[in-house]
Structure 1
Amino acid sequence: MSDATGHAAYRDRSHFRCLDGLRFLCIAMVLWHHAQPVQSPDWQLLDRGFLGVDFFFVLSGFLITTLLLRERARTGTFSLRNFYIRRALRILPVYGFVVTALCVYYIGIKGETQYLQAVPFYYLFLSNFLTEHVPTLSITWSLSVEEQYYLLWPLLLMLLPSRVWVPLTLALVALNVGLAMMPPADPPLATGPLVFRLPNSTYAPIILGSLAAILLHRRGSYDPLRPLCAHRATPLAALALIALIAQLGPFDMRGLQNLAIHLLMTLTLMALVVRERGALQALLVRPPLVRIGQVSYGIYLYHLIALDLTARLGLRFGLPEIIGEGPALWLLLIAYSLLSWAMAEVSFRTLEAWFRRFRPKGRPPETVEAEKDPRQQTHTGGPTKKPIAR
């Protein structure tokens, strides 16, 4: 099989083989971040697992924009209705289940009514502006960022001429980074439990992912970028630079340091989809990594619940170190990661599988989203095969 790095081959490719493996790396960083089995002031890098969420943003921006651009190239436009239906069926079932279950447990059963005012904002996808969260729901901030972006970005692509897309994304990134670097307003812009601010460059990575999709979709920008993206060393070198900046840069990552990391993440992603052979690529297509990547959305939503359950079991069985430093933290990391994966698998095969039946019928625009049921057969370099009858 050739590397298939030409523009026509890239546009014809219906599935990017490395991206599920990249999802594995992202969720592994998040799982590490919440267990932290190694904590050392000399290794700042080990405290940067939250960057996995930023990498998820880059990936999401790239995939949804590629999906829309390919549909537009094939039909002359794209269906907002089908886009929103696909997004809703992908995100809402497990999200709604987790949010509802935890709100019922903590507020209805445990009586912690102080969280009542926050509840509506989880369903409105505004939790990224909440100042206090229902326990284990703090991670929903990232889903709010994505949903806000999904709501607005396709409208901009549809309403604005294509010649302004690249300048628009660059302007939005600059605006986001600039606002994040500004000192917080005093008093802050707030209403009820919400405070509207950008403590970090929250939207920049997802916008950069969309910019990557636009640049690779166009032959005029793909061809100049191809030598860099197709070089064997590019993805590993980009990841090494991310690690170096995370280790040696200031502890406060807002501003240009964060932007540099997001740009390198974007370059890594572009390299993986332009060239699908290489040392890193060979690792990312390993079946266990691919499978974990396919259910990483569920792992993300369930992992704090799994962490809480695992820690409680550890205490019950006489492992007090489970909440402090020591070898038990490695056990915690392994145990809660496996439990998160198990919970995500059950969810994927039951709750999420039931809702996947309602996806829009007919040939999908392109199966670059990697949302398909793994039991469906797909191949690279051409249209997706029909699902196996079952």
Structure 2
Amino acid sequence: MKLRRITTHGNWIPEIDGLRFVAITATLLVHILGETYFRGGYTFRDQNRENVLTFVDHGDRGVLLFFAISGFILAQPFLRQRLLHGQPVSIKAYLRRRLTRLEPPYILSLLLYSSAIAISQHRFWSLIPPLLAHIVYMRNFLPVEFLNFVTWSLEVEVQFYILAPLLGLLYAIRPTTVRRGVMIVMIFASILIRTNLQGKITWNLPGQLQFFLVGFLLADLRATRTESTTSRRWDLVSVIAWVAIFAMPATYLAYSLPILILLAYLAAFNGPVSRQIFRVPWIALTGGMCYSFYLMHMLVISIAFKFTRHFLILSSLPLSFLIQAILLGSCIYLFSTAYFVLIERPCMDPKWPHQLAAKLSGISRPRHRNKRRKPSDLI
């Protein structure tokens, strides 16, 4: 199937892609709403402003859902090695996989954003410093403009990729209760760092580590999952947890959000109905393309909104948002799916650098055609 992601070991987990669907949908909706309200000229009634800002704030939690998923995915090779007695992890291969899998779609997206800005704003040289800062994942630390503001979270992801092999040593702790207890202590320590520190540190890994650690803990809990763990009670937990994740005021969220995410994700594996929902093919397949959606959606929104803004209904923000969600959402889906098929998915194949090198080698090597010799040539 052309839309299914390619995994290193061929172990596709549809529930995880279903969870990615929730995370990317929340992210897209909040950015579409922001575009509708702020670039719509602030022409909607002022009484909607607080509701819009609240929705935007809550919708940004989709990024934190991604962090927990990344923690779960990156935990797998280290968990297999140390907890399930699998093959040793080659750090070189681990880093090369991250590089070949994520960098080409990312860098190409930056070039597309830079080109769009250069054309629309008639400038070029001033874009080079931010472009270089983005490429080396240092924009969060440097005073340069964002080419694509959502990439702040990708820089946090890269910081965690580097730290993950060290955190993988947690799975070498044999007593299960001790290992999980250490993870829980680290989660709450990270929360304390986030709540007591300000500035750039909260927008980098030290302020977001608790969500990645939730993914590590989830991987540990799932590794010991049995069929007896499945229960309809988990479906009730799922409903409560998801409502709380997106509805709970930010005041009460610092300590509760990591717990809620863990419960929601456990329910996705252990609730019969929840598991069935997250395994629905179109949900899982769309979630599997989330990286392309995440990279490209703001470019699509900024361009397409120039046309879709004519469908704004100034007397109703909810109706305008619904219309924009349908129109812009359709544009995002079509463009990002094409980007996934043409750019991202080929990079998921671990062998693509070798295949490309072989093709280039074949092109550069001179071809010697064997001419048929005439009988007279043999005399």
Match status 1:262 vs 2:274: no
Gapped runs of 5+ residues in structure 1? 1-12, 189-194, 362-390
Structure 1 CA distance for aligned equivalents of residues 276 and 135 of structure 2: 40
CA distance 1:160–1:30, change in 2 (3 Å):
closer
1:97 match: secondary structure:
helix
Q: Which residue of 1 aligns with 2:74?
A: 64
Residue 265 of structure 1: CA displacement? 1.0
* Matched-pair contact (CA < 8 Å) for 2:22–2:62: yes
Q: Which residue of 1 aligns with 2:15?
A: 18
Q: Which residue of 1 aligns with 2:213?
A: 207
* TM-score normalised by the chain length of structure 1: 0.71
Gapped runs of 5+ residues in structure 2? 1-9, 38-47, 354-379
Match status 1:176 vs 2:168: no
Q: Which residue of 1 aligns with 2:132?
A: 120
Residue 40 of structure 1: CA displacement? 7.2
Structure 2 CA distance for aligned equivalents of residues 212 and 302 of structure 1: 29
Q: Which residue of 2 aligns with 1:337?
A: 329
**Larger C-alpha radius of gyration, 1 or 2?**
2
* Matched-pair contact (CA < 8 Å) for 1:306–1:339: yes
Match status 1:152 vs 2:144: no
Q: Deviations over 1:197-254 (max 9, x none)?
A: 448942211121112213433x5xx58xx87x633232542442452365353x456x
Q: Which residue of 2 aligns with 1:388?
A: none
Q: Deviations over 1:38-94 (max 9, x none)?
A: 957569567511111111111111122023322453445212222223222321121
The number of equivalent residue pairs is 326
Q: Which residue of 1 aligns with 2:289?
A: 295
Match status 1:138 vs 2:135: no
* Matched-pair contact (CA < 8 Å) for 2:68–2:213: yes
CA distance 1:309–1:45, change in 2 (3 Å):
closer
Structure 2 CA distance for aligned equivalents of residues 64 and 159 of structure 1: 13
Q: Which residue of 2 aligns with 1:237?
A: 237
Q: Which residue of 2 aligns with 1:106?
A: 117
Q: Which residue of 1 aligns with 2:222?
A: 216
- Structural RMSD (CA): 3.6
Calculate percent identity across the aligned residue pairs. 19
2:317 match: secondary structure:
coil
* Matched-pair contact (CA < 8 Å) for 1:85–1:360: no
* Matched-pair contact (CA < 8 Å) for 1:321–1:329: no
Structure 1 CA distance for aligned equivalents of residues 87 and 68 of structure 2: 26
CA distance 1:203–1:129, change in 2 (3 Å):
farther
Structure 1 CA distance for aligned equivalents of residues 160 and 181 of structure 2: 17
CA distance 1:22–1:354, change in 2 (3 Å):
closer
* TM-score normalised by the chain length of structure 2: 0.73
Match status 1:28 vs 2:34: no
Residue 299 of structure 1: CA displacement? 0.8
Structure 2 CA distance for aligned equivalents of residues 252 and 113 of structure 1: 43
Structure 2 CA distance for aligned equivalents of residues 160 and 22 of structure 1: 24
Between Structure 1 and Structure 2, the one with more helix by share is 2
Amino acid at match of 1:296: C
CA distance 1:350–1:92, change in 2 (3 Å):
same
